[in-house]
Structures are given as C-alpha cells and as structure tokens.
Amino acid sequence: MQKKTRVVAAMSGGVDSSVAAALLQQEGYEVIGITMCFNLPDAQSKKPRCCGLQGIEDARRVAHKLGIKHYVLNMQKALEEKVIRDFCLQYSRGLTPNPCVNCNQYIKFDALLKKALALGAEYLATGHYARVNIQERGYCLKKAKDSQKDQSYFLYRLTQDKLKHILFPLGNYTKPQVRELAKEFALPVAEKKESQEICFLPKDDYRFFLQERLPKAQIALGPVVDKQGKALGRHKGVAFYTIGQREGLGIAAGRPVYVVKIDAKKNLITVGSKEEALSKEFLVKDLSFIGGSLKKKVALEVKIRYNHPQSPAEISPFGKKLKVKFKIPQFAITPGQSAVFYAKDKVIGGGIIEEVLC
C-alpha cells in the first residue's frame, strides 16, 4: 500500500481552515491538524476569535469529526517578538503597520512551516484564499478565484523555498461555496461567524491596546495644523492616528478634513481636504519578490492596502528601494502599510511604504 503524502493543516477553528483540512483529507492526504495558541486574553466581544480558547476547542471538534490527529502549538513568544513589538513600535513612529503580513512571514510560514516539516509533512496547508501555481520559472502566487475574499496581499513575502511546501485548498472556491462544503462535510463549525479582527487586540481597538503597551513618554500631546501651518487643535499622540483618518480628530475646521501627514519627530499632525490626501508617488523599502527582483522600470498594478483596489503604476529602481508612480492619484497612501505589485492576478512582490513624495 502506497504511503499517503502527509500535510499539516493550520486549523484556527474557523470555517475556512476546517474546510481546507476536510478537502485535503478527501483528496487522499494524511492530514494532521495544528492549532496555534497565543495565550491571548479573552476579548470583550461577541465576535469569534481565531486564536482564543474557543477557536482551539472548535478546531479540536473538527479534527475529531474528520478523524485526524490534532495538536496545539504554543506560539505566544513568537507572536510577541515578531508581531506585537513591531506593531507597537511602528505606531509610536507615526506609521501604520499591517501585523498580518508579519504574522504570515514569521509565524505561519516560518515557525509553523518548520514544525510541519519536522513532523515529516511535505506541505503546510492554510485556509487562505490564494493560489499557488507551478510555471516554467518556478512557483508563482496568484489571486484567489473569489476576488472579495482574496488574501494574496498578505502573502507577498513568500519565497520559492516556502511556496513549494504550501497548499491553499480554498484558492479556487468562493466563500459561499466553502460554506456549502462545510455543511456537506457536516463540520461542527459550519454556521460559525467569521473572525476578521486582529487577533491580539482584546477589544478590537488598537488605540486601547497601544495605551496599555506603550510607555507614557511615547504618547505626547501635540499640535494639529492645516497644510499652511495654521493650528487647529491638539492631538492625543501620533500613535493614535493614521493617514486618511477623518473621524475622532477632535478639531473644528469648518469643513471635512483628513489626516494627510504624521511627523513623529516633530510630534505634529497635518490635516487637509480629501483632495490634499491624494498622492501619486512614493518610495517602497524592505522589498520582497517571489520570482526575482525588479531591475528596470516596469508597468504593474499596485495595491496600497488590503481593502484598496489595484491601480496601474510605473515602478522604478531607486537605489535599494523602488519608486512607485500611479497613473491616477490615490487616497491616503500610508507609510508603514505594504505596497503589493501585481501583473493581472499574479503577485510579483512588494514592500513597505516608506515615504510619500508627492
């Protein structure tokens, strides 16, 4: 009898990862479920959490239903060192980080992947909505069939060495189809609501979290000014604001205004009209490419936030960085967020937005 290929399925206790595990088993893989535990405090929220005690119990119930082995792996130290510390540091610098990008790079597709390989697995599978294809020049990462659920934006730091060991079973399914599959497999989480918040924020409120974590010396009141330098009010600390923010500014400008610049060194926040929050050019650092770096000017589509549509841009080498120039000005290009480059539905790579030029 031929030995089955072993796959470790990352099981959060949600519908997506549970269906991913069930599909793999149906395809004939030997599936082992692993749930990451971060020892996070229970959220004061009715929404389900992907990494809480309920999630672990739900994953265990699904594994029992499927008849597969299930383990819980404590990843609290990795989350603190690789994700949470950077999250707080970047906000204290007036930047807006994306912790899911770091979590995927350092925890799911590094620490957890290493654990999977150590268990003799050929692959690590997750419930991400994305696709991995093999082409002549190696592996490529592509957007999911369901454009509303596509998560390729968070995965641009995956490398060839990682992609050859990764499976995304849901890449060719839509969310409604996955819900139906959960019912067909009679999974105990088939009707479970979706978790969308950042897992380590106990109240789904990053400002509350930062107040608890940042030293008081890093939370200083300061001026809010318009583009001409006119004082309009006081802010509560640059860590509590992000580019494009309109609500909660606490100023009376007599017109709708948005945060257009955050200067942490001067402890200064500048606001302006929606038009003044539009920009075309910016620099990208900490570059990561899936199939080779960009060495000459190219035309690609760029996504500057997860929930922001791709837009055509010209991308040019700029020393060890890249300069991106949109054809059409975009709203709230935000330092600290990831800029991800696409050729149609194929992910080329990306990096961290460092500075808006104009």
- For the annotated catalytic residues, the residue numbers are 103, 199
| CA of residue 203 relative to chain centroid, distance | 19
DSSP letters, 279-338, are: EEEEEEEEEEESS----S-EEEEEESSTTS--EEEEEEEETTEEEEEEEEEEE---TTSE
Where do the DSSP E strands lie in 144-277?
A: 166-167, 222-225, 231-235, 258-263, 268-272
Which residues, other chains included, contact 37 with Cβ-Cβ below 8 Å and sequence gap of 6+?
51, 56, 72, 73, 74, 75, 76
Closest among 96, 76, 75 to 86, alpha carbons compared: 96
Whole-number Å distance between alpha carbons of 166 and 121: 11
Closest among 268, 179, 273, 218 to 91, alpha carbons compared: 218
Closest among 306, 304, 287, 312 to 339, alpha carbons compared: 304
Whole-number Å distance between alpha carbons of 88 and 96: 10
| CA of residue 305 relative to chain centroid, distance | 9
Length in residues, the chain: 358
The SS3 call for residue 142 is strand
CB 165 within 8 Å of CB 122: yes
Partners of residue 271 on adjacent β-strands: 259
